[in-house]
């Protein structure tokens, strides 16, 4: 599935060690940026402004300038800013100190998370189709550091279909709420109780297939490590806030990759695909199958409960939903 850069002096244990460092850094930075209001403000407002100046001046000849990389870094950062606002913008009574208004209670504001999520998925779906049409049978794509071999095929279209299904199965965003502060966690995470484990797994399978199809020289890090970090967080210390964790880790990784593209492109720790058509097919088929199952389950729940998943919440009778809802303020 993957091949290490042994020609540049890579060693198997060292590459795995670097992967662990990347994973731990993403997990740790997400913890910092979610737990402290000021840290989130710095990471997703101040830092992107400073780095943008560098990308378009001092680093303009070495950083990524294609539409997809720029769209991804700025759309993921926009998501982080929007989520930060939903979590922290509120009005308090000057005399009592009690909260009298919160952006998190505004239904229009709650439409932002599914919208930015759908936009990010659409970007990848468009890229999958583009690669399938342009590189059928294989071909080289000009990149900042080196020409990258791409292998398009039926797997691109299967995964594009999986991405569309993933969008259609986004449910219950009007039930988004804020995590109550406790002695152990004062993060005020943006909880999405209706976004449960089966949808997250289907998303991860789809997104990994996307990175393997369209970013074969980056999938080791941006597909493998970058997907595991928010998912493990959402299943452990940051339950119910997967989308927030995903946006944070994605934005931070994109900023790092834009600033240091050589790390995953030409360094000895760069990892490439083996370009095996069978693996491409299996990975994309698994993504499509998972998303078909989630779609069918959603239809089943709609018929059984007579709930509208786009006007309210669908999975309110499930134990995992109740577990997350109890964390809300």
Q: What is the pLDDT of residues 191-204, one digit of tens each?
A: 999 999 999 999 99
- Is residue 1 within 8 A of residue 220, CB to CB? The reply is no
Helix, strand or coil, per DSSP, at residue 255: helix
Which residues sit opposite 328 in a β-bridge? 179
pLDDT digits (tens, 9 = 90+) for 56-107: 999 999 999 888 889 899 999 999 999 999 999 999 998 888 989 999 999 9
pLDDT digits (tens, 9 = 90+) for 20-47: 999 999 999 999 999 999 999 999 999 9
CA 183 to chain centre: 28
User: Which domain does 216 fall in, by range?
Assistant: 2-325
Range in 41-45, 129-133, 146-150, 280-284 with the lowest mean pLDDT:
146-150
**CA contacts within 13 A on the Cβ side of 130:** 12
- pLDDT level of residue 287 (50, 70, 90 thresholds): very high
Q: What is the pLDDT of residue 144?
A: 58
Nearby residues of 48 by Cβ (< 8 Å), 6 or more positions away: 73, 74, 77, 251, 255
Q: What is the pLDDT of residue 329?
A: 76
Q: What is the pLDDT of residue 78?
A: 96
Structure tokens at 46: 């101040």
pLDDT digits (tens, 9 = 90+) for 260-271: 999 999 999 999
Rounded alpha-carbon distances, angstroms, from residue 17 to 22, 173, 231, 261, 288 = 9, 38, 20, 19, 31
pLDDT digits (tens, 9 = 90+) for 204-250: 999 999 999 999 999 999 999 999 999 999 999 999 999 999 999 99
Measured N-to-C along each axis, helices 242-259 and 112-134 cross at an angle, to the nearest 10 degrees, of 50
pLDDT digits (tens, 9 = 90+) for 137-152: 999 987 756 789 999 9
Q: What is the mean pLDDT of residues 312-319?
A: 97
Domain count, the chain: 1
Q: What is the pLDDT of residue 325?
A: 97
Q: What is the pLDDT of residue 39?
A: 97
Structure tokens at 267: 């360094």
- pLDDT level of residue 183 (50, 70, 90 thresholds): confident
Q: What's this model's pTM, rounded to 2 decimal places?
A: 0.96
**What is d(CA 282, CA 150) in angstroms, rounded to the nearest whole number?**
17
Structure tokens at 98: 């009690």
Q: What is the pLDDT of residue 184?
A: 86
Helix, strand or coil, per DSSP, at residue 182: coil
Structure tokens at 114: 């599914």
| Res 157 pLDDT > 80 | yes
Q: What is the mean pLDDT of residues 298-302?
A: 98
């Amino acid at each position: 599935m993957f091949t290490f850069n042994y020609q540049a002096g890579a060693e198997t244990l060292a590459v795995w060690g670097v992967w662990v460092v990347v994973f731990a850094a993403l997990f740790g930075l997400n913890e910092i940026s979610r737990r402290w209001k000021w840290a989130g403000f710095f990471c997703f407002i101040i830092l992107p402004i400073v780095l943008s100046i560098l990308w378009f001046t001092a680093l303009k000849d070495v950083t990524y300038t294609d539409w997809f990389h720029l769209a991804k870094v700025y759309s993921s950062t926009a998501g982080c800013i929007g989520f930060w606002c939903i979590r922290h913008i509120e009005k308090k009574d000057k005399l009592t100190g009690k909260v009298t208004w919160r952006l998190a209670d505004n239904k229009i504001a709650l439409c932002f998370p599914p919208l930015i999520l759908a936009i990010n998925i659409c970007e990848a779906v468009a890229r999958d189709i583009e690669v399938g049409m342009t590189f059928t049978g294989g071909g080289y794509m000009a990149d900042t550091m080196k020409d990258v071999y791409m292998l398009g095929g039926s797997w691109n279209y299967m995964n594009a279909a999986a991405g569309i299904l993933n969008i259609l199965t986004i449910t219950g965003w009007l039930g988004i709420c804020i995590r109550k502060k406790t002695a152990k966690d004062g993060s005020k995470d943006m909880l999405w109780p209706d976004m449960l484990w089966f949808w997250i797994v289907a998303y991860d399978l789809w997104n990994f297939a996307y990175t393997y199809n369209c970013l074969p020289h980056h999938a080791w890090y941006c597909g493998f490590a970058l997907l595991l970090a928010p998912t493990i967080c959402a299943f452990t210390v940051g339950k119910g806030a997967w989308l927030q964790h995903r946006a944070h880790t994605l934005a931070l990784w994109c900023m790092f990759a834009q600033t240091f593209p050589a790390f995953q492109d030409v360094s000895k720790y760069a990892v490439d695909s083996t370009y095996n058509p069978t693996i491409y097919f299996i990975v994309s088929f698994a993504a499509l199958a998972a998303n078909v199952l989630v779609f069918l389950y959603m239809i089943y729940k709609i018929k059984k409960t007579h709930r509208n998943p786009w006007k309210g919440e669908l999975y309110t009778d499930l134990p995992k939903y109740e577990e997350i809802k109890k964390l809300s303020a």
